Structure 1
Amino acid sequence: MKLKTKIKSKLSRTFSGNFPEAYKKFTMSHMHDYTGMPETRLHKPLSECKVALLSTAGIHLVTDSPFDVDNPAGDPTFRLIPADAQEDQLTVTHLFIDTKHAKSDPTIVFPLPQLKELAADGMIGSVSPIHIGLNGGILDTAEVEREWIPKVVELLRREEIDVALLVPG
């Protein structure tokens, strides 16, 4: 991460912590207001569903290329994380969150062991073989909406995922 990016990251976290309403107006000005919640009903019990994790905390394998936090528009790409990934194989790269704690305990932003426990206890049917790491904080969402989200949706469909849990960063 470039020095300029480190300074920008620290300033944005400080600004958002001290002036949350102003920060929200600045960073969310491109968003549309929706009056209702998106809703999809399960067609089978949760105990029979295949579940995947999606995290916007910039989670990825240590062997992957980090998310490009130096890109002023944000990095719209995603990283695949296999279900057999161990905690020491994961790291986070993000501009707008303090990654210190997530780097020492990735389950904070990517609760894969807990998801496996739910499967072992029969609360969910199974854990997906793949999971998705995204980098939130993208101010211009046009590219991610047009190009990358359809790819994620196709991956989830191909794997026959019933439930995708979004874990924000």
Structure 2
Amino acid sequence: MSDEESGPADLSFEDVRRSFYYGDHADMQFKYLARMTDAGAADAIAEVLAAVGETLDTGDLDRLREAVYRAQVAGYLPSEPVAPATEIPFTPLPGSLASLRLALISAGGVYRVDDDPMGPDGPSQQDSLVLITEFLRGTPTLSTIPVDTPNEQLTARHPGYDARSAQRDPSAVFPLDHLRDLAGQGRVQLADEHYGFTGATSQRRLEKQVAPRWAEHMAAREVDVVFLVAT
């Protein structure tokens, strides 16, 4: 039988699970499958599919959510113990949060829909997945988001996680709504500006060049404390 008659080469299970990590089946919700062993990935997929079947019968999403969560935890757990950090910068708060001006900054790639940091023709979320290398080499850009910006005017783009969830609900990575509620109760004071950037970026440039300028920018606006949301 010729190669043409035999069709495309079969993929091994390892090929399939690895293809979820920036491969032919790239999916940021399930990219952790590439980190797992074949046996571990098979068990995780079997549990998720069993939960899908139950959800189709019952309409109850709780078991499905729990199955996906357990698979993610298993996929991202380090294979070896991680040495604890020995040098952690620490600055104690000078007062209670209620007396300090707080700014929110998210590494989830959040920005206003009318202020795309990559320009009016910036890539879509799906397009950004194939640009991961360019993101990781680039200089991060800080997006400014006024405190009264409604969620409907926010969106997100990020090559390292499925930002479609943040597009549907920006509060998942940019909980400004919740902070406004706390401010209304007098539990925090909010700065006039809040910020977003894409955490998948040149970490060296972020640490050495960009972050110090951002800190100066916020200090000039009398920000006392920053709430950083990672992804």
Distance 2:31 2:162 in 1: 13
More helix by share: 2
Please list every run of 5 or more consecutive structure 2 residues that lacks an aligned counterpart in the other structure. Answer: 1-20, 37-73, 79-83, 123-127
Match of 1:4 in 2: none
Q: Which is greater in Rg?
A: 2
Match of 2:68 in 1: none
Distance 1:17 1:129 in 2: 41
Match of 1:155 in 2: 217
Match of 1:108 in 2: 172
Secondary structure in structure 1 of the residue aligned to 2:114 = coil
Equivalent residue runs for 1:132-147 within 5 Å? 132-138=195-201, 140-147=202-209
- Find 1:45's aligned residue among 90, 96, 101: 96
Higher relative contact order (CA 8 A, sep 6+): 1
Shift of residue 164, structure 1, vs aligned partner: 0.4
Residue 126 of structure 2 is aligned to residue 63 of structure 1: no
Match of 1:131 in 2: 194
Match of 2:35 in 1: 19
Distance 1:156 1:40 in 2: 16
Shift of residue 150, structure 1, vs aligned partner: 1.4
| Aligned residue-pair number | 155
Give the residue type in structure 1 aligned to 2:162.
D
Distance 1:24 1:113 in 2: 31
TM-score, normalised via structure 2 length: 0.59
Shift of residue 155, structure 1, vs aligned partner: 1.4
Distance 2:174 2:168 in 1: 12
- Find 1:85's aligned residue among 149, 152, 163: 149
Distance 1:87 1:100 in 2: 14
Root-mean-square deviation over aligned CA pairs = 2.8
Match of 1:76 in 2: 140
Percent sequence identity is 30
| Native 8 Å contact 1:80 1:131 kept in 2 | yes
Give the residue type in structure 2 aligned to 1:142.
R
Please list every run of 5 or more consecutive structure 1 residues that lacks an aligned counterpart in the other structure. Answer: 1-6, 26-32
Bigger CA drift: 96-105 or 62-71? 62-71
Shift of residue 151, structure 1, vs aligned partner: 1.8
